[in-house]
Structure 1
Amino acid sequence: MTILRHMKSMMAGTALATIVAAGGALANPYEPYEGTTLVVSWPSLSHFTFAEELVEEFTEETGINVEIDYIQYLSMRDRQLLEMSRPEGEYDVVAWVVMWKGEYVSRGLLTPLSQFFTNPAIVDPDFDIDDIADAYLQNGGVVGGERGYLPGVSGALYGLPFGAETSILAYRKDIFEEQGIEVPTTYDELRAAMAALDEAGIPALTSRGATGHQVTAAWLMHLAPLGGKIFDEAWNPVVNSPEAVEAAQVMREVAQTGPDGIPTFGFGDAAAAFLQGDAAMHLDTLKIAAMSRNPDLSTIDGNVGYALHPVGSRCGSETGGFAMGIPANSPNQEAAFLFLQYMTSKQGDQRMVELGGDPVRISTLEANTEGFDEYPVVAEQLPCADPDWRPLIPEWNELNIDVLGQALTKVITTDDPIQPIMDEANEQIRAIMEREGYYKWADYRAGE
C-alpha cells in the first residue's frame, strides 16, 4: 500500500484529519500544493541516494515535484549558508550535519516547525513524533534549550532526523571464536581484547585518525563512555581532565594495535580496513552494518557480529548524522513540511529500510529485526546515546579541526606524554571561548 493510500484509509474515519471541501467531499491534503517544485539540498551520501526512489513516490502520490541538489557533505555548509542568507533562497529543504544546527538558528536561517504542527490541514495525525528516537530528534533538530543545543523548556524544534546515527561495536565473529575472545562489554575488556589480538598478530580495532575532524571524532567515541566532556557547566574546557587523557591514551593504543595507516584514515578508510578483513573490530557509526552487507564494499558478510558500545564509567554512545529542516527564506514552506513529514513518517521510514537506508523510528527498528542483526543492538543502544557527545556550538568547527584535531594527531603519531599535549589544547580552547564572549557574564558578576 502506498503512503498516500495508507494515509487516506487512516484519515477516513478521523474527523480531526478531514479537510471538508465544498459539498462535504473529502479533499486531498496535498492538492493545494500540486505542481509546486521543491529544491532540496542533500549530501551525496548513500542514505540520501537510497532515498531517491522514495522521493519519486512522493511526487507520484502528491503532485509536488522535487529537485535534489547533491553536494559533497563537507562543502554543503558553505553553499547552504549562501543560499539561506539571500532574501529568497533556492532551497526549500536543507539537510545539515548536526553540528551546524546552532549556527543556522543563531543566524535566523531556519523556520521553527511548530507553526506547521499546529496546522491540522497538513499534519498527518498518525505521524507520531514520539516514535522517533529521542536522541536523534534532540541531537539533530532541537535548538535553544540547555546550553543552546540540548533539551530544555526553552528549546524549539527546527528539524527532523534523516540519516541520523549512533555508534555500535562491530566485530569479526570468526576471529573472536578462533582466538577465544569474549565480545567486550566494558572498556577494560575492549583494551584487553585489543592487546590479545595484537599479541596474536591480528590488527585489532580500526579507527579514523586523519588530522582534523576525523581524529577528533575517533577520540570522542571513547571520551563519552569514559566519563569525559569538552566543557564543564560554566564553559570551562576540560579536555585535559583525567577522563579526557585516558580517552587519548585509548586512542594511542588503538593506533598501536590496529591496522597500519590509522593516522591517515578518514571514515571510509577505517571502514574499508574492517570490511576488507584487515581489522577485527570497528567502533563507530552503525552505518558499518549496511556496508558489511554490501558485496561491492565487503568481503566479510556473514562473519560480522554487533554489540553495544562498550561502557566505561558510564554508557555514552555517539549522536550524529543529519537532520532536515526548512530555510526561513523558502517560498514553499508548507509543501516543504509535507515533504519532511512524508520522508520521516512511519511508512516512509519503513520504505527507507527497504531501500537500504537507516531508520530513525523505534517502531521501525523493532519491526525489522529479521535480516538486520544490528537493529536490536541499535534500539538498545539509543537510550545511552549522548546528546552532549560534542558541543553543538558555532565554534565547534574551529575547536574540532584547529585545536583538538592537531593535538590528537600528536597523541597517535608520537610517544610524547599525553597530559602536556592536552593541557596545551585546553588553553587554546579557553582562549577561543574567551574571544567569543562565553565568560562575559561570569567576569561581570565577579566584578560586582
Structure 2
Amino acid sequence: MKRERWVKGFAIIAAGIVCFSACSKKDEEKAEAASAEKIVLTVAARGGTHTDVIQAMKGEFEQKHNCTVNVLGFGADDLKQRAALDSINSKGVYDLVMIDDPVMPEFTENGVLQNLTAMGYKDDKDFVEKSAALGKSPYAKGDTYALPFTGNVQLFFYNESVLKESDSALPASWEDVLKTAKKIKSAGKAGYVIRGQQGNPIVSDFLPVLWAYGGNVFDENWNVIVDSPEAKKALKMYCDLFAAGANYEKNDIVASVANGNAGMALGWPSWFISSANAQAAYAAVPDRVSDSSAQNATGMIGNWMMGITANSTHKELALKLLTYLTGAEVQKAAVDKGGVPTRTSVFTDSVITAKYPYFSVIYEGTKNSVVRPRTPKWSAVENAFGIELSNVVSAGKSIDSGLADAKKAIEEIMKK
C-alpha cells in the first residue's frame, strides 16, 4: 500500500504535464525499432553531458555484446517521475536509470532499483568511498543498489581580481568570507552572492554554512534540530552574507562572479567549469566559522548514480553495461566528453589532472564531503525548510520564528 501511494503521488504530479502512457509507448517503440534481433538496453539518463558521455562510450559495448544501447535524455524532474511511474509495470521500459543521489533513499525504499549485491556484484574499492556509499541501502553500510556515474561536489568560487582589489586573500573561514564580502560591498560590488530561492536552491546554498557551525537538519536519532543554537548562528551569518552581496539565481550567480560584478559564491563545478576552462577561481568550501574554531566537513556531495530497474527484463546484460560505463577505462576516456570521474585511479591520474586541474579539487572535496539526510522524505523536507529560510532571508521573518516554524513543518512531514 505504501508503494502504491508513493506511485500515485507521482501520477498526480505528472497529470496535466506529460502523458506518461503515451510517452512510454513511444519509448518502447523506439527501443523495439532499434533492432528486431539484437537485445535492446534502454537507459533513462539525465540530459546534457551525461547523455553525451553514454552515447560516446556505448559503441564498444554494443559491438562486444551484440546489442543496442538506447539512450533517452530527460530533465531531472522528468527523469525521476518517469522512473517512478514505470516501476509499477511488470516489464519496465527502462533497463538502467540515472538517479540524483538525494533520491536514492526514495527509490530503494519503494522498490524501483534492483539489488546489485543480490545479483552477485562485489564492491569496487577504486570508487571514492563517499561516492560508493551513496549507492548503498542503508546508506554506506547496506547492499549496493547503484554505482556512482558522475562525480560532483559543491565548491567555493571567487573572482581573483575582485579579491585582489579589496586587498583580500582567499578566505579560510566564514568569518573571513563575511569580512571580505563587506570590503567588496563598500567598493560598490556584490561581496557574496547567495542562491536564496525557495526549496532546493536556498537549502543547498545554506547547508554548508550550517555544517560549518556544527549544525544539521537532524541529529543521529532523527530528531529535527534546525532550531538549534548552531543553526541560529549559521542563519545569522547567511543573512549577513546576503546583506553584503545579492540574491541571484544560478545563471546570474555565474555571470556576476565571472565578470567581476561579484566576489564570491558557492556553486557546482558544472556551473563554472567547462572542460579545462573555468570562469572563476575555485577552492574547497570553507570548513570552519573562524580561524580558531573547529573544522567541520562542509562540501555537499551531489553525484549522479546509475542503477538497474527492478523490472528490467535484461538484468544480467544491464549489469555488464553498468559496470562498463562506470569502469576506470571508460571514465578516463569520458573526461574529454564532459565526464567527471568517481574513481580514485582516474582522479589521481597525472595525465588527466594536468589537463583538468579542477579534478583534484573535486576529489579532495568529495573525500571530505557531507551527504544530505538519507530519508525518502527529503524532497518534502527540503521544500518545507527552504520556504522558511527564504521567509527569513527575503521576507523579514525573524530567525527564531523561521527556524521554529521550519522545525514544526519538518516534524509533521516525518510523522506521516
Q: Which residue of 1 aligns with 2:392?
A: 411
Q: Note the 1:12-51 alignment, pairs <5 A.
A: 35-51=38-54
TM-score of the superposed pair, with normalisation by structure 1:
0.78
Q: Secondary structure at the match of 2:310?
A: coil
Q: Quick one: structure 1 residues 273 and 62, their matched pair in 2 at CA, closer, same or farther if it must change by over 3 Å?
A: farther
Structure 1 counterpart of 2:413, from 416, 432, 442: 432
- Report the Cα distance in structure 1 between the residues aligned to 2:237 and 2:276, rounded to whole angstroms: 29
CA distance in structure 1 between the aligned counterparts of 2:255 and 2:158, rounded to whole angstroms: 14
How much does 1:240 deviate? 0.7
**Which letter maps to 2:129?**
D
Alignment equivalent of 1:308, drawn from 261, 284, 305: 284
Relative to structure 1, the CA distance from residue 376 to residue 428 in structure 2 (aligned partners, 3 Å threshold; closer, same or farther) is: same
Q: Which of 217, 235, 239 lines up with 1:230 in the alignment?
A: 217
Q: Aligned residue for 2:131?
A: 136
Structure 2 residues not aligned, in runs of 5+: 1-36, 289-293
Q: Which secondary structure does the structure 1 equivalent of 2:177 belong to?
A: helix
Look up the SS of the partner of 2:43 in the other structure. strand
Q: CA deviation at 1:276?
A: 4.3
| 8 A Cα contact 1:38 1:336, kept in partner | yes
Q: Establish whether residue 151 from structure 1 lines up as the match of residue 134 from structure 2.
A: no
CA spacing shift, 1:69–1:192, aligned 2, 3 Å: same
Contact 1:275 1:292 in 2 (8 A): no
Match of 2:267 in 1: 284
Secondary structure of 1:349's aligned partner: helix
Q: Report the equivalent of 1:374.
A: 358
| Mapped contact 2:128–2:342 kept (Cα < 8 A) | yes
AA of the residue aligned to 1:231 = F
**1:269-300 deviations in whole A, cap 9, x for unaligned?**
43343344432223122324524856xxxxx7
Q: Secondary structure at the match of 1:68?
A: strand
Tell whether the 8 Å contact from 1:51 to 1:355 is kept in structure 2 after alignment: no
Q: How does 1:235-384 map to 2 (within 5 A)?
A: 235-259=222-246, 261-262=247-248, 265=249, 267-291=250-274, 301=279, 304-312=280-288, 313=294, 314-367=296-349, 368-384=352-368
**C-alpha displacement of 1:305:** 2.3
Please say if residues 64 and 335 of structure 1, whose CA atoms lie closer than 8 Å, have aligned partners that are also in contact.
no
8 Å Cα contact 1:353/1:359 also seen in 2: yes
Indicate the larger mover: 275-284 or 166-175: 275-284
CA contact 2:154–2:266 (8 Å) conserved in 1? yes
Q: In structure 2, what is the Cα distance between the partners aligned to 1:366 and 1:381?
A: 13
Distance 1:51 1:85 in 2: 26
* Whole-angstrom CA distance in 2 between matches of 1:60 and 1:117: 25
Query: Residue type matched to 1:156 in 2?
Result: D
* C-alpha distance in structure 2 between counterparts of 1:173 and 1:162, whole Å: 32
Provide closer, same or farther for how the CA distance between residues 106 and 315 of structure 1 changes in structure 2, counting only shifts above 3 A. Answer: closer
- Deviation at residue 400 of structure 1 after TM alignment: 0.9
The 1-side partners of 2:345 and 2:105 are apart by 29
Using the alignment, how far apart are the partners of 1:48 and 1:281 within structure 2?
A: 31
Letter in 2 for 1:407: E
What RMSD, in angstroms, separates the aligned Cα atoms of the two structures? 2.2
Q: How does 1:151-170 map to 2 (within 5 A)?
A: 151-152=140-141, 155-170=142-157
Query: Tell me, what secondary structure is at the counterpart of 2:380?
Result: helix
Partner in structure 2 of residue 445 of structure 1: none
Distance 1:341 1:247 in 2: 41
Say if 1:306 and 1:373, in contact at 8 Å, map to a contact too: no
Cα deviation for residue 173 of structure 1 reads 2.0
Number of the residue aligned with 2:166 = 179
Task: Determine if contact 1:289/1:374 at 8 Å carries over to the other structure.
Answer: no
Note the C-alpha offset of 1:239: 0.5
Relative to structure 1, the CA distance from residue 238 to residue 357 in structure 2 (aligned partners, 3 Å threshold; closer, same or farther) is same
Aligned counterparts of 1:197 and 1:371: Cα–Cα separation in 2: 32
What residue number does 1:204 align with?
A: 191
Q: What is the percentage of aligned positions where both structures have the same residue? A: 25
SS at match of 1:251: helix
Greater alpha carbon shift after TM alignment, 109-118 vs 86-95? 109-118
Query: Residues 57, 197 of structure 1: CA spacing in aligned structure 2 closer, same or farther, 3 A cutoff?
Result: farther
Q: Name the SS of the counterpart of 2:303 in structure 1.
A: strand
Quick one: which amino acid aligns to residue 365 of structure 1? F
Distance 2:64 2:156 in 1: 39
Indicate if the aligned counterparts of 2:54 and 2:71 stay in contact, CA closer than 8 A.
no
Question: Bigger radius of gyration, 1 or 2?
Answer: 1
Could you say which residue in structure 2 is the equivalent of 1:80? Answer: 83
Aligned to 1:40, the other structure's residue is in SS state strand
Residue equivalent to 2:181: 194
Q: Kindly provide the CA deviation profile for residues 187-223 of structure 1, in whole angstroms up to 9, marking residues without a partner as x.
A: 2212222122112222123332222221111111322
Indicate how the Cα distance of structure 1 residues 291 and 104 shifts in structure 2: closer, same or farther if over 3 A, else same: same
Aligned match of 1:9 = none
